[in-house]
Amino acid sequence: MHKSAYSVAVVGATGLVGTEIVTALGQRRFPIADLQLYASIRSAGDELQCGDVRAPVELLERARFDGTDLVFFAAGEHVSAEWIERATAAGAVVIDISPLCAADPDVPLVVPEVNAAELSGYTTRGIVASPDAPAIALAVALKPLADAAGLVRVVCSTFEPVCGAGRRGIEELQRQTIELMNGRSTNNEVFPHRIAFNILPHVGEFLAGGFARGEVHIVTGVRRLLADPALPVSVTCTRLPVFYGEALAVNVETARKLTATEARNILRVAPGVLLQDDLETGSYPTAADAVGQDATLVGRIREDESLNVLDFWLALDTLRKGAAVNAVQIAEVLIREYL
């Protein structure tokens, strides 16, 4: 028996992703009976607007989650690790936007356009994970190509904005840019090197084998989302001095030959994809074009010289489809099918 409206909580409601979740819930008219917003002492007492409702931000320590149907966790991995089980123990279903559970086989990792059926597995732990932004973009674009021609190998470079490091990432790029433009020296607090007027060749700390954490998350995420655990996926993540919006350069080998025209025709009608690919008019998506959009933008599709290989370019709003909107879409399927 479906409810007509749900009790919803957002943990980390005042952060970059949390505020987008609150905005998306209002914009998409999610049926909310009661909205609880949580943050740290820094923002407790603020108020946020969600559609027609204005709700206060409370201290997370006050949260009990009794009678709460859905809790979005957007306060980082440590807060998720400490609080998720309290929410599920109180009977809430958790949608976690942090990477904490993304590799846990007992937690479905979901992009609704790609693998909505996996959501049925939420009952095991009461948790659904929303993937990293680049894994979302890749899965949305690769799923229809995989269905049409099978995937043999994926190679990808990401061009990621500072918003991926949260509010502090935005502040560091602002501060360094102002200091350098005024001829002053600058220091780094969030990123390991200067980010202003620079490009860094990794996202996240280095792990075994020299891979960066962001790269490992993407490989794990894409394999899980496409239900292809052995798919060879090779990723290089880069961080750019861009505030919002990201892009990916993708090279994909398919089992059966796909021409660029065939790939265009497939992607033009694929769920969650907006094709922007016209050489004659010079039309292709940029990271800035993607900001404010909920689709994954695809362009510059071309046939590589190698057999059965395509190159293309993706752009995505990191905070919307790359985080908040994907999480709200998960919630929409949960209430439509399960809650």
Ligand X SMILES: NC(=O)c1ccc[n+]([C@@H]2O[C@H](COP(=O)([O-])OP(=O)(O)OC[C@H]3O[C@@H](n4cnc5c(N)ncnc54)[C@H](OP(=O)(O)O)[C@@H]3O)[C@@H](O)[C@H]2O)c1
Rule CB under 6 A: which residues touch ligand X?
Answer: 12-18, 39-40, 42-43, 60, 74-77, 79, 97-99, 133, 163-164, 166-167, 318-319, 322-323
24 vs 310, beta carbon nearer ligand X: 24
Least distance to ligand X, CB of residue 59, Å: 8
Least distance to ligand X, CB of residue 170, Å: 8
29 vs 42, beta carbon nearer ligand X: 42
Least distance to ligand X, CB of residue 182, Å: 26
13 vs 266, beta carbon nearer ligand X: 13
149 vs 191, beta carbon nearer ligand X: 191
Least distance to ligand X, CB of residue 166, Å: 3
Q: How many CA atoms lie within 13 A of 316 on its CB side?
A: 33
Residue 243 DSSP label: S
**SS3 of residue 50 by DSSP:** strand
Least distance to ligand X, CB of residue 214, Å: 10
- Cα separation, 198 vs 196, in Å, equals 5
Least distance to ligand X, CB of residue 17, Å: 3
Which residues make Cβ contacts (< 8 Å) with residue 53, sequence separation at least 6? 26, 32, 35
Sheet holding 151-160, edge to edge: 233-239, 151-160, 246-254, 309-316, 296-303, 273-275
- Cα separation, 43 vs 21, in Å, equals 16
Angle of the 133-149 helix axis to the 213-225 helix axis, nearest 10:
40
39 vs 138, beta carbon nearer ligand X: 39
The residue number with the shortest CB distance to ligand X is 15
Least distance to ligand X, CB of residue 14, Å: 4
- Cα separation, 49 vs 19, in Å, equals 9
Least distance to ligand X, CB of residue 169, Å: 7
43 vs 220, beta carbon nearer ligand X: 43
Q: Which residue has the tokens 């905005």?
A: 23
What are φ and ψ of residue 82, in 5° steps? Answer: -80, -30
- Cα separation, 107 vs 265, in Å, equals 34
Least distance to ligand X, CB of residue 322, Å: 5
The candidate with the shortest Cα–Cα distance to 287, out of 225, 235, 327, 241, is 241
The candidate with the shortest Cα–Cα distance to 38, out of 15, 4, 67, is 15
Sheet holding 93-96, edge to edge: 47-50, 53-59, 32-39, 6-11, 70-73, 93-96, 127-129
112 vs 164, beta carbon nearer ligand X: 164
98 vs 254, beta carbon nearer ligand X: 98
| Length of the chain counted residue by residue | 339
97 vs 263, beta carbon nearer ligand X: 97
Distance of CA 194 to the CA centre of its chain: 25
